[in-house]
A and B are shown apart, each in its own frame.
Chain A
Amino acid sequence: MTQAQQPKARRITIEPITRLEGEAKIDIFLDDEGNVDNAYFQVVELRGFERFCQGRPVEEMPRMTTRICGVCPGAHHMASSKAVDAVFNVDPPEPAKKLRKLFYCAHIIHSHLAHFYAFAAPDFVLGPSAEPGKRNILGLIEAVGLEVGKKVITARSYAQRIQEMIGGKATHPVCGLPGGMSKPITEEERKEIEEMAKSLVEFSKFSLELVDNIILRNKDYMNLIRGDTYYHETYYMGMVDQNNNNKVNFYDGVIKVVNQKGMQYARFQPKDYLNHIEEHVEPWSYLKFPSLKNVGWKGLVDGKDSGIYRVNCLARMNVAEGMATPLAQEAYEKMYDVLGGKPSHATLAFKRIIRKAGLNHIRVHDLRHTHATLMLKAGVHPKIVSERLGHANIGITLDTYSHVLPGLQEAAAEKFDQVLDESDKIGNIDVSKLLAEGEEIDSRPCRSRTCDTLIKSQAPLCGFNQL
């Protein structure tokens, strides 16, 4: 333990942060009255991809940057593959693009499913007061029963299997090459994927019901979610279709930023990210702090004068004007009905901290009262950090947004169907139709030019884990 003596204040250290990917700790400082005076979320490691990837062949980057995060390697693989396309100035042929989208849909499903069921759901299903040894995926299966548990396991295995069929490996895929993919899939594989995809759509509906039953019908949870205690007004950044319909896009769109009122603040091509994003350094964390360059870094505060922006699930929803598929659109509309309008600034960031630190005696109101917004004041706040760095597997943040996730899964699952329906053979697809409809699936910004810029560029948007 690295607990230093604090003569006046009481320090509570949460070390390590659990149920997420990446190494971090939280230090909370209490004043004489036992109120929180300050809190810091510190990332405790650095690997240095930005440096050691220099000198390596650029086409190897999709196979190396996946190790930034093993929970979302698909995102890093695709971002890197697209960046490498840009370096070589090549555009993959349509069948390759469709394969990438198919792969990435499966990845989105896996990543969100793993996050929701393995990392976040234990808090909701078992409740915040469950003992630590039970608050996990195994405890969850025990609580919901083997039948439901197996359903989750099967759905997860399908999402992994599809990625493996296309990408070689589900974790740390290898299929992306400059301008394309390393291999096609066979007709038998396509059929197998189609069956799994249909099953995943059903599973997404099941997940929505589960959220409905466990969270939306629980008054306490809903009060927490909708209340003003867990609330911060920030900018949001996410990817939407290149055309003007502004639907959520997972793979190949344009970056849109909205302000605290939900109005468009910026819209730019991924390659132009340097005109819009900068990173700040603090001496107490190995992770950097990205912000909107044209607003500027004003410290860890919210509001329109602060360049802090959030990315990932809620941000994607907030910047978009809907989902491209009907079932997902339905869930999208329901989500904003539940949250009481768009954009939603709700966050439950403190819930787990308070519980984990055994601070139940401190009323949330006290926290808020003591500091305008607890950690925002001076320390970093897990929500800000995790959301700004944006990542499907930040348990703390996504506790809040778990109700959003099934919608995403469903969207991806529906896309599968759509992609598959359009052709008998994946290697021989007429995508012109898809494109004519502005049908783009996708994800992470592709940014490029030099190798290290590429790699670096993945940090602000793709991973919590320090590069």
Chain B
Amino acid sequence: MDKKIKLAIGLGSTCAGCDIAILDLNEKILVLASLAEIVFWPTAMDFKLSDLERIGKNEIDISLQHGTIRTSEQEHIAHLLRERSKVMIAFGSCSCFGGIPGLCNLTSKEAIFETVYRDTPSTVNPDFITPKTEVKEGGYLLTLPELYEEGKALPQVVDVDYYLPGCPPAVELIDRLLPIIAKFLETGELPPKGMVIASDKTLCDECPLTKENKMISKIFRPHEIIPDPKRCLLEQGILCMGPATRGGCGARCINALMPCRGCMGPTAEVKDQGAKMISAIASILGVENEKDLSEDEVEKLVNQIKDPVGTFYRFTLPVALINRRIKEGS
């Protein structure tokens, strides 16, 4: 096929696992190459920011952006891509929901600087020098992008057309992009705006383990129990985000007998993934004899959950209803 769409892949604050996931298309990467001319992809190609800036409005057909928005430069790239693209896809959990880098919202830029540039035991920095957005060095002005106080998901910065969640997205979901691109190339038709390229159901709906609707009274950390490999992990007392998490990932963590940590984000009906998980746990933890429990006992029960924020919002803190700590320690 001679005609190709123009595709760009931009990055925010990312680990590049999303780029590796695209390479996981394996031979289908050649199909992608036959459908799309890639005009920007820093992890794999040599186009520069100036190349991107030279592209005109709407001249890119589809842009994928992965990574959290954490710096002024990342925000700039998101805007550049949005202005130049007909379609913008939030690719991966960081872009869709903020992801693990979004956990920076539990702390502050100041606190991060203190830890990284002063308090870590390997750091030798008696004058507490920290990176500056502008600094004169050997007579030259050097600049760095500004690090923001908080991390944001892509839709909090620009208008997003589609979402492809996962950390990184499962290859079978990335594969679904190919027919979408092919159809767009052929007919100009696109799926309805806002579509999430994943399952509409929860992970529990596609989980290979057996649910017996058992209540639990004790919560085990993953290393504290050898789970029955056939039974629901949550019903064995291991916190698993399955009930509050969208499916489509192929249940890969579950297949490795590890509980879900929620990287696919919530389903369409749910606004706040963590709140959904709290309600799911509330409905099975100590419910059987709840009436007989004192306040202290209930608190003891709940205190078994060691890190509620870091567990229930591990990938979605920036888009949660309460999405950052106002002051560390509070």
Contact = CB atoms under 8 A, between A and B. Distances in A.
Interface of A: 1-2, 4, 6, 9, 11, 14-23, 27, 29, 38, 40, 42, 44-48, 50-52, 54-57, 59-60, 63-64, 66-71, 73, 88, 114, 118-119, 132-133, 135-138, 141, 146, 149-150, 153-154, 156-157, 160, 164, 167-175, 177-180, 182-183, 273-274, 277-286, 288, 290, 297, 356, 378-379, 393, 452-453, 456-457, 460, 465, 467
A57 B221 contact: yes
Contacts of B20: 70-71, 114, 171
Contact of B122 (A60, A137, A153, A277): A277
Contacts of B27: 150, 153
A141 B34 CA distance: 13
Contacts of B132: 283-284
Contact of A284 (B74, B120, B137, B229): B137
B145 interface: yes
Interface in B116-141: 116-117, 120-125, 129-132, 134-135, 137-138, 140-141
A68 B15 contact: yes
A452 to B, nearest CB: 7
Contacts of A52: 103-104, 106-107, 112
B117 A288 contact: yes
Contact of B71 (A44, A160, A174, A182): A44
A67 B19 CA distance: 13
Interface in B148-187: 167-168
B261 A63 contact: yes
B229 A183 contact: yes
A274 B145 contact: no
Contact of A174 (B19, B74, B100, B258): B258
27 contacts: A4-B134, A6-B140, A17-B42, A45-B13, A47-B101, A48-B104, A60-B311, A67-B17, A70-B19, A119-B44, A132-B45, A138-B38, A153-B26, A171-B168, A174-B252, A183-B256, A279-B122, A281-B117, A281-B130, A283-B135, A283-B137, A286-B147, A288-B117, A290-B122, A356-B46, A378-B138, A452-B115
Given A1-B50, A16-B42, A175-B258, 18 more contacts: A1-B53, A15-B49, A23-B13, A23-B73, A38-B138, A42-B144, A45-B73, A47-B101, A59-B223, A63-B261, A64-B314, A118-B23, A137-B29, A141-B30, A170-B24, A182-B258, A283-B130, A378-B137
Contacts of B11: 23
A390 to B, nearest CB: 15
A46 B131 contact: yes
B16 A1 contact: no
B48 interface: yes
A95 to B, nearest CB: 14
A71 B122 contact: no
Q: On chain B, which size bracket covers the interface?
A: 35 or more
B21 interface: yes
Contacts of A157: 24, 26
A210 B117 CA distance: 44
Task: Please indicate which of the listed interface residues B24, B71, B115, B138 has the most CB atoms of chain A within 10 Å of its own CB.
Answer: B115
A68 B103 CA distance: 13
B310 A56 contact: yes
Given A38-B138, A153-B27, A278 B124 contact: yes
Contacts of A284: 131-132, 135, 137, 142, 144
By Cβ-Cβ distance, the 10 closest A-B pairs, closest first, are: A70-B17, A168-B256, A70-B15, A48-B112, A132-B46, A21-B16, A52-B103, A174-B258, A4-B141, A51-B115
A174 B253 contact: yes
Q: Is the interface of B mostly helix, strand, loop or mixed?
A: mixed
A168 B255 contact: yes
Contacts of B134: 4
A182 B131 contact: no
A164 B252 contact: yes
A48 B115 contact: yes
A152 B109 CA distance: 43
Nearest to B127: A281
A160 B120 CA distance: 34
A70 B129 contact: no
A67 B151 CA distance: 15
A168 B252 contact: yes
A50 B144 contact: no
Contacts of B15: 21, 66-71, 73, 465
B140 A29 contact: yes
A54 B104 CA distance: 11
A9 B306 CA distance: 56
Contacts of B115: 48, 50-51, 54, 452
A391 B142 CA distance: 25
A11 B33 CA distance: 35
Contacts of A42: 142, 144
Contacts of B100: 64, 67
Contacts of B26: 153-154, 156-157
Contacts of B38: 138
Contacts of A290: 122
Task: Please indicate which of the listed interface residues A20, A47, A56, A154 has the most CB atoms of chain B within 10 Å of its own CB.
Answer: A47
A97 B67 CA distance: 33
Nearest to A63: B261
B82 interface: no
Task: Please indicate which of the listed interface residues B45, B71, B106, B107 has the most CB atoms of chain A within 10 Å of its own CB.
Answer: B45
Given A45-B71, A46-B116, A278 B257 contact: no
Contacts of B138: 38, 378-379
Contacts of B237: none
